[in-house]
Structure formats: C-alpha cells, structure tokens
Amino acid sequence: MRRNFTYIFSWMILIAVAISINFAFAGSIKPQKTDTITSHIQKNKLNAAKNSYLKNGLHLALPPLKPAATSTLKINVIRTDDKLLNDVQVYPNPVTDQINVKYVLSRNAIVTVKVMDVLGNDVITLLSQRIGSGEQSFSYPLNNKLARGFYFVRVVAGTESVIKRISVL
C-alpha cells in the first residue's frame, strides 16, 4: 500500500512540475506577427500583465554584480587546521648537563614535554602546564638523571606532538 502511494504521489509531483514549467515558458513566447491588429492587442495584454505582476509581485533589491570587483575589507579568521605547535628545537645535542627546549605555539594550550627511552617508556616529565601563545623556551638541568645513551624528547600541545632525538653523554 505504501509503495503504491509513493509511486502515485511521485507521478503527481512530476506532472505538476511539468505543467508549471509549461506555463512558465508559455508566458515568454512572443506572438507571431500575422496581423497588426492582433499583435497590438496581444502586446497591450502582455504589458498589462507585466505591470500587474510588478505591482503585486515580490520586490527584491539586490546590489549590482560587478565582474572582477575586489573588496578592501579584511577579515581575520582563526583557522582550526593551522598547526598549533611549530619550530620545535631541542639543544644542545649531545646533552651533557642541561637540556633546552624551544617551540612556538599558535594559541593557548596545555603543553607536556617528556623524555622517553628507545623503547618508548617515559623517563622524565620536564614540563606539564597550560602555556600561552607565542615563542616559548625553557631549560631543565639533568644533574645525572639520565644514563648515557639515546633518548627522545616528546613535546605534546593539544592533540599535536613532535618527537626529537637526543643523545646524552
């Protein structure tokens, strides 16, 4: 039953659209000039119909469109696809007694800086706090907290992370 109703309703809609398109095109067809008297009568009827439409119709005032026109208005939009964490630097490499980390944040975020061993285990958390936007840097004294070898420094800001390899002497 429901399928028959949908089928019939679809055809009724299609026929209604076809009829409305037919009427829309019929108003734009110009009559043939066979007789001057009938053409003047038809022109007067068309002009009267146009005038009544303009009086009773919908009025929209749109600005004129100019091709190749540019606006001088500047809008600053914060893009969410921009990188939050940029220019991460860990120095000196190789590290002896102090590690320096420098990075740039594009907006406020919670930043976590951790030192991991080669297997990915957290060894030391150097920083974990909310930090404002801009260029940031900090130093952390190691004081023999790390044994000699290779480590990774992982800087996490929001959902982004950057990993840098360091060696400790």
pLDDT category, 31, cuts 50, 70, 90? low
For residues 111-128, one letter each, b for 16 or more C-beta atoms within 10 angstroms of the residue's C-beta and e for the rest, the string is bebbbeeeeeeeeeebee
Query: Is the pLDDT at 110 greater than 60, yes or no?
Result: yes
Query: Is the pLDDT at 114 greater than 90, yes or no?
Result: yes
State mean pLDDT over 95-121.
92
* Selection from 35-39, 67-71, 133-137 with the highest mean pLDDT: 133-137
Distance CA 100, CA 88 (A): 11
Domain with CATH 2.60.40.3080 in the chain: 85-168
- pTM for the model stands at 0.52
CATH number of the domain at 85-168, out of 2.60.40.3080, 2.60.120.680, 3.90.1150.10, 1.20.1250.20? 2.60.40.3080
* pLDDT number for residue 135: 92
